[in-house]
Amino acid sequence: MDSALASDRGAVYLPQTVRTAAKLLVVGHFAVGKTTFVGSLSEIRPLRTEETMTQAGALIDDLAGIEEKTTTTVAMDFGRLTLSDSLVLYLFGAPGQQRFTRMWKDMTNGALGALVLADTRRLEQSFPVMAVLEEQGLPYAVAVNHFEGAPRFAETEVREALDLLPETPLVTCDARDRISSTHALIALVQYLQARHTR
Protein backbone atom coordinates (compact mmCIF):
# COMPACT_ATOMS: atom_id res chain seq x y z
CA MET A 1 0.00 0.00 0.00
CA ASP A 2 1.41 3.36 -1.03
CA SER A 3 0.71 6.10 1.52
CA ALA A 4 3.90 8.09 1.91
CA LEU A 5 3.89 11.48 3.61
CA ALA A 6 6.66 12.86 1.45
CA SER A 7 5.89 14.92 -1.61
CA ASP A 8 7.26 14.48 -5.09
CA ARG A 9 5.93 17.80 -6.39
CA GLY A 10 5.89 20.39 -3.64
CA ALA A 11 5.04 21.27 -0.09
CA VAL A 12 3.53 18.53 2.02
CA TYR A 13 1.78 20.90 4.39
CA LEU A 14 -0.82 23.48 3.47
CA PRO A 15 -0.06 27.18 3.86
CA GLN A 16 -1.60 28.66 7.00
CA THR A 17 -3.62 31.01 4.78
CA VAL A 18 -5.87 28.17 3.52
CA ARG A 19 -9.35 28.67 4.98
CA THR A 20 -11.58 26.67 2.64
CA ALA A 21 -11.44 23.05 1.53
CA ALA A 22 -13.61 21.51 -1.20
CA LYS A 23 -14.14 17.79 -1.76
CA LEU A 24 -14.66 16.28 -5.20
CA LEU A 25 -15.03 12.62 -6.13
CA VAL A 26 -13.42 10.86 -9.07
CA VAL A 27 -15.56 7.84 -9.85
CA GLY A 28 -16.13 5.34 -12.61
CA HIS A 29 -16.25 1.67 -13.35
CA PHE A 30 -13.45 -0.82 -12.76
CA ALA A 31 -10.16 -0.07 -14.58
CA VAL A 32 -11.23 3.27 -16.09
CA GLY A 33 -8.23 5.29 -14.85
CA LYS A 34 -9.33 6.88 -11.58
CA THR A 35 -6.07 6.21 -9.73
CA THR A 36 -4.09 7.58 -12.69
CA PHE A 37 -6.33 10.67 -12.88
CA VAL A 38 -5.93 11.54 -9.19
CA GLY A 39 -2.18 10.91 -9.41
CA SER A 40 -1.78 13.18 -12.44
CA LEU A 41 -3.35 16.13 -10.60
CA SER A 42 -2.23 15.75 -7.01
CA GLU A 43 0.43 18.18 -5.79
CA ILE A 44 1.37 15.72 -3.06
CA ARG A 45 2.26 12.10 -3.49
CA PRO A 46 -1.26 10.63 -3.63
CA LEU A 47 -2.46 8.10 -1.13
CA ARG A 48 -3.24 4.94 -3.03
CA THR A 49 -4.76 1.75 -1.72
CA GLU A 50 -3.91 -0.42 -4.70
CA GLU A 51 -3.34 -4.08 -4.10
CA THR A 52 -2.39 -6.96 -6.36
CA MET A 53 -5.41 -8.64 -7.86
CA THR A 54 -5.93 -12.21 -6.71
CA GLN A 55 -7.38 -15.30 -8.31
CA ALA A 56 -10.51 -14.84 -6.13
CA GLY A 57 -11.09 -11.45 -7.74
CA ALA A 58 -10.83 -12.96 -11.20
CA LEU A 59 -14.17 -14.67 -10.58
CA ILE A 60 -15.83 -11.28 -9.93
CA ASP A 61 -13.91 -8.63 -11.90
CA ASP A 62 -14.35 -8.65 -15.66
CA LEU A 63 -10.88 -8.31 -17.22
CA ALA A 64 -12.07 -8.56 -20.82
CA GLY A 65 -10.00 -6.10 -22.84
CA ILE A 66 -7.87 -5.14 -19.83
CA GLU A 67 -6.03 -8.41 -19.25
CA GLU A 68 -2.80 -6.53 -18.41
CA LYS A 69 -4.35 -5.01 -15.25
CA THR A 70 -2.66 -6.48 -12.17
CA THR A 71 -3.71 -4.16 -9.33
CA THR A 72 -6.96 -2.66 -8.11
CA THR A 73 -8.01 0.03 -5.64
CA VAL A 74 -9.42 -1.55 -2.49
CA ALA A 75 -10.42 1.56 -0.52
CA MET A 76 -9.77 4.90 -2.20
CA ASP A 77 -7.28 7.23 -3.79
CA PHE A 78 -6.65 10.63 -2.27
CA GLY A 79 -4.95 13.68 -3.71
CA ARG A 80 -4.70 17.39 -2.99
CA LEU A 81 -4.63 20.43 -5.24
CA THR A 82 -4.13 23.92 -3.80
CA LEU A 83 -6.06 26.37 -5.96
CA SER A 84 -5.17 29.62 -4.20
CA ASP A 85 -3.69 30.95 -0.96
CA SER A 86 -7.03 30.32 0.72
CA LEU A 87 -8.60 27.37 -1.16
CA VAL A 88 -7.62 23.71 -1.41
CA LEU A 89 -9.28 20.93 -3.36
CA TYR A 90 -9.32 17.35 -2.11
CA LEU A 91 -9.79 14.59 -4.69
CA PHE A 92 -11.20 11.26 -3.57
CA GLY A 93 -11.02 8.40 -6.05
CA ALA A 94 -13.54 5.63 -5.39
CA PRO A 95 -12.92 1.95 -6.17
CA GLY A 96 -14.63 0.84 -9.35
CA GLN A 97 -16.18 -2.51 -8.52
CA GLN A 98 -19.88 -2.60 -7.64
CA ARG A 99 -19.16 -4.49 -4.42
CA PHE A 100 -17.86 -1.16 -3.09
CA THR A 101 -21.15 0.68 -3.70
CA ARG A 102 -21.71 1.26 0.01
CA MET A 103 -18.31 2.93 0.22
CA TRP A 104 -19.18 5.15 -2.78
CA LYS A 105 -22.29 6.32 -0.94
CA ASP A 106 -20.27 7.10 2.19
CA MET A 107 -17.73 9.03 0.13
CA THR A 108 -20.43 11.33 -1.24
CA ASN A 109 -20.86 12.88 2.22
CA GLY A 110 -19.54 16.44 2.07
CA ALA A 111 -18.65 16.24 -1.62
CA LEU A 112 -19.60 19.11 -3.92
CA GLY A 113 -19.74 16.92 -7.02
CA ALA A 114 -18.13 14.10 -8.94
CA LEU A 115 -16.25 13.52 -12.15
CA VAL A 116 -17.30 10.24 -13.77
CA LEU A 117 -14.56 8.69 -15.89
CA ALA A 118 -15.86 6.55 -18.75
CA ASP A 119 -14.32 4.21 -21.32
CA THR A 120 -15.93 3.90 -24.77
CA ARG A 121 -15.14 0.17 -24.78
CA ARG A 122 -17.38 -0.33 -21.75
CA LEU A 123 -19.83 2.58 -21.59
CA GLU A 124 -22.60 0.40 -20.16
CA GLN A 125 -20.52 -0.06 -17.00
CA SER A 126 -20.92 3.66 -16.25
CA PHE A 127 -24.65 3.33 -15.55
CA PRO A 128 -24.40 1.86 -12.01
CA VAL A 129 -21.90 4.59 -11.05
CA MET A 130 -24.12 7.39 -12.35
CA ALA A 131 -27.14 5.78 -10.67
CA VAL A 132 -25.43 5.98 -7.26
CA LEU A 133 -24.60 9.66 -7.79
CA GLU A 134 -28.15 10.44 -8.88
CA GLU A 135 -29.56 8.52 -5.92
CA GLN A 136 -27.33 10.58 -3.60
CA GLY A 137 -28.27 13.83 -5.38
CA LEU A 138 -24.65 14.58 -6.26
CA PRO A 139 -24.10 16.58 -9.46
CA TYR A 140 -21.54 15.20 -11.88
CA ALA A 141 -19.73 15.70 -15.15
CA VAL A 142 -18.48 12.89 -17.42
CA ALA A 143 -14.99 12.63 -18.86
CA VAL A 144 -14.29 9.98 -21.48
CA ASN A 145 -10.79 8.70 -20.75
CA HIS A 146 -9.26 7.78 -24.11
CA PHE A 147 -7.39 4.50 -24.14
CA GLU A 148 -5.17 3.40 -26.98
CA GLY A 149 -7.21 1.40 -29.46
CA ALA A 150 -10.56 2.39 -27.91
CA PRO A 151 -13.25 3.43 -30.39
CA ARG A 152 -13.91 7.16 -30.68
CA PHE A 153 -17.39 8.49 -31.13
CA ALA A 154 -18.95 11.90 -31.67
CA GLU A 155 -19.99 13.70 -28.51
CA THR A 156 -23.66 13.41 -29.46
CA GLU A 157 -23.34 9.62 -29.75
CA VAL A 158 -21.65 9.27 -26.36
CA ARG A 159 -24.15 11.63 -24.76
CA GLU A 160 -27.02 9.58 -26.17
CA ALA A 161 -25.43 6.25 -25.20
CA LEU A 162 -25.00 7.45 -21.60
CA ASP A 163 -28.46 9.08 -21.58
CA LEU A 164 -27.01 12.32 -20.23
CA LEU A 165 -29.12 15.38 -19.51
CA PRO A 166 -28.36 18.30 -21.87
CA GLU A 167 -26.74 20.28 -19.04
CA THR A 168 -24.42 17.47 -17.89
CA PRO A 169 -20.90 18.30 -19.09
CA LEU A 170 -19.22 15.72 -21.31
CA VAL A 171 -15.52 16.08 -22.10
CA THR A 172 -12.65 13.87 -23.18
CA CYS A 173 -9.36 13.46 -21.38
CA ASP A 174 -6.19 11.46 -21.03
CA ALA A 175 -5.94 10.64 -17.32
CA ARG A 176 -2.15 10.28 -17.63
CA ASP A 177 -1.75 13.89 -18.71
CA ARG A 178 -1.90 16.63 -16.07
CA ILE A 179 -3.13 19.32 -18.47
CA SER A 180 -5.82 17.09 -19.95
CA SER A 181 -6.98 16.03 -16.48
CA THR A 182 -7.03 19.67 -15.40
CA HIS A 183 -9.38 20.56 -18.27
CA ALA A 184 -11.74 17.75 -17.25
CA LEU A 185 -11.73 18.96 -13.65
CA ILE A 186 -12.37 22.55 -14.77
CA ALA A 187 -15.46 21.37 -16.70
CA LEU A 188 -16.84 19.88 -13.48
CA VAL A 189 -16.02 22.95 -11.37
CA GLN A 190 -17.59 25.34 -13.89
CA TYR A 191 -20.72 23.18 -13.92
CA LEU A 192 -20.91 23.22 -10.12
CA GLN A 193 -20.42 26.99 -10.07
CA ALA A 194 -23.17 27.49 -12.65
CA ARG A 195 -25.57 25.35 -10.60
CA HIS A 196 -24.71 27.30 -7.46
CA THR A 197 -25.44 30.68 -9.04
CA ARG A 198 -28.87 29.69 -10.46
User: Residue 99: CB partners within 8 Å, gap ≥ 6?
Assistant: 60
- Its pTM stands at 0.80
pLDDT tens sequence across 139-176: 999 999 998 889 999 999 999 999 999 999 999 999 99
**Among residues 149, 123, 178, which one has the least CA distance to residue 68?**
149
pLDDT tens sequence across 24-78: 999 998 889 999 999 999 998 876 555 554 555 554 555 555 556 455 544 578 8
pLDDT tens sequence across 110-132: 999 999 999 999 999 999 999 99
Phi and psi angles of residue 16, each rounded to the nearest 5 degrees, phi first:
-65, -15
The amino acid that residue 139 corresponds to is P
**Among residues 58, 175, 168, which one has the least CA distance to residue 119?**
175
Distances (CA, A) of 107 to 132, 138, 153, 165, 172: 11, 11, 31, 24, 24
